[in-house]
Each structure stands twice: as structure tokens, then as C-alpha cells.
């Protein structure tokens, strides 16, 4: 079950788009469709750009204009801001996670 708030489901859309685009570019450059499956570093080519996009997109969405309301009874000021998360992680934190996954796979491929 996938749990999201706000635009958090965009995490999945960005990752899927980067995977398809990365596969397309790697197959175009190498001319070999089996190359992607044979090398782990190709995951970095897909995960790192997805992570960068998600970091900036998540920060942009998190910093959008908030609504401020005042509780009439207590006079307390409350700031209402929509949260954008996937699986209880805010969208921008998926960026570093994907970058680390990409770097880890690139290092694993080099050490293989």
C-alpha cells in the first residue's frame, strides 16, 4: 500500500520517468539493450537525476505560500502548510536517499 500526502505521489512519477529516460539514453549511447542489465552503475544514471529533481521540487512545494489563521478563543496564530510526502517521508528527503542509492550502486559496480 502506497501512502502519500499532497503531491507526494510525484516521487513515483519522477523516479519512473528518470528510469525510462535513463534506459533510453544508455541504450542509445551504447547500442546494446543488454548493457543496462549487465552494469550496476547505470542505476546511478537514473537515481541521481531523480534525486536532484525531487530535492528541488520538494523544497519548492514545501516553501510555497502558507496560510496563517488566528484562533478566536485563544488568540494563537497557526500556520497551515500542505505537506507533500510519500510513505511518511517528505518529498525533498527522497532526493538524498536516491542520490545515495545511485552512488552506492556505482561504487558496488566499480568494486565488482
Give tens-digit pLDDT for 11-62: 999 999 999 999 999 999 999 888 888 899 999 999 999 999 999 999 999 9
Cβ-count burial 2-21 (b if 16+ within 10 Å, e if not)? eebebbbbbbeebbeebbee
- Number of structural domains the chain divides into: 1
User: Which range of residues forms the domain containing residue 56?
Assistant: 4-111
Inter-residue contact 1 to 10 (CB < 8 Å): no
- Check the CA dihedral 68-70-76-82 and report its sign: negative
Q: What is the model's pTM?
A: 0.86
- C-alpha to C-alpha distances, 65 to 70, 81, 94, 111, nearest whole angstrom: 17, 8, 22, 46
- The reported pLDDT for the residue numbered 111 is 93
What CA–CA distance (Å, rounded) separates 85 from 40?
Answer: 28
For the segment 101-107, the average pLDDT, to the nearest whole number, is 95
- The reported pLDDT for the residue numbered 65 is 85
Amino acid at each position: 500500500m502506497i501512502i502519500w500526502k499532497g503531491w507526494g505521489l510525484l516521487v513515483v512519477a519522477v523516479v519512473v520517468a528518470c528510469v525510462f529516460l535513463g534506459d533510453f539514453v544508455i541504450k542509445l549511447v551504447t547500442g546494446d539493450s543488454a548493457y543496462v542489465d549487465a552494469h550496476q552503475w547505470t542505476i546511478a544514471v537514473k537515481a541521481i537525476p531523480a534525486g536532484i529533481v525531487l530535492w528541488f521540487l520538494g523544497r519548492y512545494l514545501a516553501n510555497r505560500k502558507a496560510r496563517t489563521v488566528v484562533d478566536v478563543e485563544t488568540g494563537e496564530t497557526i500556520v497551515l502548510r500542505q505537506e507533500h510526502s510519500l510513505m511518511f517521508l517528505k518529498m525533498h528527503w527522497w532526493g538524498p536517499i536516491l542520490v545515495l542509492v545511485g552512488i552506492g550502486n556505482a561504487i558496488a559496480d566499480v568494486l565488482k
